[in-house]
Amino acid sequence: RAKDLGKNAYHFYSHDMNRQNTQQFSVQAALRFALERQQLKLVFQPQMNLATGQLSGMECLIRWQHPDMGWISPAEFIPIAEETGMIIPIGHWVLLEACRTAQQWRAAGLLVPKMAVNLSVRQFKPGVLVEQVASVLQETGFPAYLLELEVTESLIMRRINEAVDIMNALKAMGVTLAIDDFGTGYSSLSQLKYLPLDILKIDRSFVEGLPCDHDDMAIAQTIIAMAKKLSLSVVAEGVETAEQMQALHAAGCDTIQGYFYAKPLPAEAMAQMMQRV
Ligand code: C2E
Ligand code: MG
Ligand code: MG
Ligand code: MG
């Protein structure tokens, strides 16, 4: 779909730019337009605590509602937003909109659990990110202890020195930090101990084969055991069946997120899952 987005504009810019640049250029323009015209939306995926069976958190996920092409997945446009730099204003919008929405829920008397927001590599900038998070929290009134920031494993390991300083500053503000898609990057496990993390999210690819696939089972169990030794809380992503949930619970996993419990929901449906204070 990202390719289709660029097609219309192709004729106008094709002279000295190569095709890929042209496509990126037009997708970038489309994304800027999308942000201005409020075509970007947030959905919220509930997380369940395995010990209590209760709602214990949620992850905020972006969607693009294109007037002609319908819903476009972030897997298609986030990589282009990252390459073109559009992720900077988009990422800021996500953080602001998420905190604003959650604070409105609180004001309406709902018991709002922790809310996770995804960050991408381009946002992880010294002198920018920490200031941005602080100003969003101040502007919205959403408390830092309810905000969780997710960064992917590969991003952190690519810029580990820079990342540690930024993460320490975020932690000092009271924000919770999670490492996302764990197991898919190329980190050495020993590097994890240098990061001020609170949560480790096991990637969906290891959850998929549970409980039958012995390799996936061994990997999931090992990741959970390691996380526990490092005093990290574990969230398993992409849990679709009761059997997967049971296997994860038996292995000591704390929290699950996935279609088995709930799909990503529009704000109104998410609010209905919360209790009143
Ligand atoms: P992620 O952060 O790992 O998010 C989890 C993805 O798994 C989401 O895909 C979610 O809809 C999907 N998922 C959840 N439960 C299940 C399940 O039971 N089965 C299956 N098959 N999938 C499940 P989504 O929403 O398409 O997002 C894809 C990725 O796009 C996210 O992966 C994240 O890396 C990125 N993304 C989404 N929103 C944002 C954002 O606001 N900022 C940034 N930087 N990246 C974002
Ligand atoms: Mg995530
Ligand atoms: Mg993930
Ligand atoms: Mg994932």
Give, to the nearest 10 degrees, the angle between helix 19-36 and helix 74-84: 100
The pTM of the full predicted model, rounded to 2 decimals, is: 0.92
Average confidence (pLDDT) over 124-139: 95
Share of the chain above pLDDT 70, in %: 90
- Interval 78-130: pLDDT, tens: 999 999 999 999 999 999 999 999 999 999 999 999 999 999 988 988 899 99
Give tens-digit pLDDT for 173-206.
999 999 998 888 766 667 788 889 999 999 999 9
What value of ipTM does the predicted structure carry?
Answer: 0.97
pLDDT at 156: 76
CA distance 188 to 204: 20
Q: Which of 80, 150, 207, 237 to mutate to test the pocket of ligand 1 (most atoms within 8 A of CB)?
A: 237
Give ligand 1 pocket residues (Cβ under 6 A).
Answer: 45, 61-62, 73-75, 78, 91, 94, 118-120, 180-181, 204, 237-240, 257-259, 264
| Backbone dihedral angles phi then psi of residue 194, each to the nearest 5 degrees | -85, -10
List pLDDT tens digits, range 231-252. Answer: 999 999 999 999 999 999 999 9
